[in-house]
Structure 1
Amino acid sequence: MGPYFQDVYDHVLCAMKWTESLRDLATSILEANLALQGNRLNVITKKVTGYAAIIAVPTAVTGFYGQNVPYPGFSEIGGFFSSVALIVGFSTQLFFLFKRNDWISDPDPHSRAVLSRPILIDALMARRLWALLTHFLARLNGGSRPWH
């Protein structure tokens, strides 16, 4: 009876090792997915912030020229043109500044492929995890696969 229990003990140890390795693999897949989602969120937040800063310029200029106190160009056509020039000038300057620093435009032409890559990584990792799981279950069942 001793060799039988030793064999069962060895199978249990092997099953525990496989279970632990599968648990570690699943944990690392989830952590990688969360890291990729965080990076994608940072890129999107940076773009939204850039556009919000550009939109804030016309709001500030029209707010200044919309006040009820005299300002340079008050009651003159030049005041309107100066406000339009300020809006266009500052907005254009911010746009090109943010574009140069890659806050608005994509950093490279393949960035859309990079942003869709986590789905591919998840599919490949899930396939690998499924292969390991079926191999593990087949070894537990003595090589037979009752689910096929």
Structure 2
Amino acid sequence: LQKVMDNVKNKPHLLTKGHDFLAYQVFDAIVDDFFPIIEKLDDEIDEVEEKLFKTTPSQKTIQRLFQLKRQVVDVRRIIWPMRDVLNVLARRDYDYINPKTSIYFRDVYDHLLRLADMTETLRELVTNAMEGYLSITSNNLNYIMKRLTALTLILMLPTLVASAYGMNVILPLATEEFAFWEIITIMLIVTLPTLYYFKKNNWL
């Protein structure tokens, strides 16, 4: 509004064009101010996307992504209702607007439609970035779970053998001279094939 007031001070004759022309100037200034906001949001979304998919994102980057989503939603909530208002003002049959001034409102309306499309694109970009991040996180978690499962199974087999021979009961090989090495051999026999299987299937 300050921009409009300064413009009127510098060009007092604008007041003679009527209240509808002054309203046009207000809407035009409001709509024009949204373009740098949209461009800044677009640049920040690109920057966050690059950090998400090229490096391990920090908690600050994730928080910024959610903040950007909220900001895009807020801008969208402001812009979309304005379309209906400007659409009415741009109609030549609207009694309160001079037909000559309605042409200016049509121009602002066209700009607003561009803004609406841009905000919709930004919303899709943010949504895609969030879905991509969640997908990567899910894949990483699945990979970690696979490795933990494989390691658990590999360690479980020799642990079972060691636990069995740790009990205070007489078991096969327990009383033999080379029982220790024989038990170690058994552990390797049951462990190595399992290790090979998981390596072959990229679980480790």
Which TM-score band (shorter chain)? 0.5 to 0.7
> 1:28 — aligned with what?
128
Same amino acid, percent of matched pairs = 36
Give the TM-score taking structure 1 as reference length.
0.64
Q: Report the CA distance between 1:48 and its aligned residue.
A: 2.1
> 1:62 — aligned with what?
162
> 2:146 — aligned with what?
46
Match 1:89 to one of 189, 196, 203: 189
**Pairing 1:76–2:191 present:** no
CA distance in 1 between counterparts of 2:147 and 2:103 reads: 66
**Pairing 1:100–2:200 present:** yes
3-state SS, counterpart of residue 77 of structure 1: coil
What pairs with 1:104-119 in structure 2 (closer than 5 Å)?
104=204
> 1:135 — aligned with what?
none
Quick one: which amino acid aligns to residue 100 of structure 1?
A: K
> 2:28 — aligned with what?
none
CA distance in 1 between counterparts of 2:122 and 2:107 reads: 22
**Structure 2 stretches of 5 or more lacking a match?**
1-100
Which protein, 1 or 2, shows the higher relative CO under an 8 Å CA cutoff with sep ≥ 6?
1
Q: Report the CA distance between 1:16 and its aligned residue.
A: 0.9
- The answer on whether the counterparts of 1:73 and 1:79 sit within 8 Å (CA) in structure 2 is yes
**Structure 1 stretches of 5 or more lacking a match?**
105-148
CA distance in 2 between counterparts of 1:57 and 1:77 reads: 23
Give the TM-score taking structure 2 as reference length.
0.47
Larger radius of gyration: 2
Task: Render the CA deviation track for 1:6-57: whole Å, top value 9, x for unaligned.
Answer: 1111211211111011111111122112112211221222122212211112
**Pairing 1:12–2:112 present:** yes
Higher-helix-fraction structure: 2
CA distance in 2 between counterparts of 1:34 and 1:49 reads: 22
CA distance in 2 between counterparts of 1:48 and 1:77 reads: 36
> 1:123 — aligned with what?
none
CA distance in 2 between counterparts of 1:46 and 1:101 reads: 11
Q: RMSD between aligned alpha carbons? A: 1.5
Q: Report the CA distance between 1:5 and its aligned residue.
A: 1.4
